[in-house]
Amino acid sequence: MLHFGCKNMCNVYSLGDKVINAENEEKDLGVIVSDTLKPSSQCIAAAQSANKTLGIINRTFVNRDCKIILKLYQTLVRPTLEYCVQA
């Protein structure tokens, strides 16, 4: 459960006997949404994932032909960085 807004009273909700915990951020459909609605968590996660993919490409491929590296970047890394940029 996330609380949005500056005038939100941040009530405590329960489902049966269990109290539902409030979180600062939640991941839904691969997008990290925070209670402040700032995209910093999503950007950091996308950059980390892209850097991991670049590291795998760097360790795996010995041939450093520009066309091959560019195609790998466009196919594997760029979609990771562009996912949910609009959000």
pLDDT-above-90 percentage for the chain: 39
Q: What is the pLDDT of residues 38-73, one digit of tens each?
A: 888 888 888 999 999 999 999 998 888 999 999 999
Residue 16: inside a domain, yes or no? no
Q: What is the tally of structural domains in the chain?
A: 1
Residue 13: inside a domain, yes or no? no
The predicted structure's pLDDT at residue 74: 94
Identify the domain containing residue 65 by its residue range: 24-82
Residue 43: inside a domain, yes or no? yes
Residue 30: inside a domain, yes or no? yes
Q: How many CA atoms lie within 13 A of 3 on its CB side?
A: 12
Q: What is the pLDDT of residues 23-41, one digit of tens each?
A: 888 888 888 888 888 888 8
DSSP three-state, residue 28? strand
Residue 17: inside a domain, yes or no? no
Q: Give the C-alpha separation, 26 to 8, whole Å.
A: 18
What is the reported pTM? 0.72
Mean pLDDT of 78-84: 86
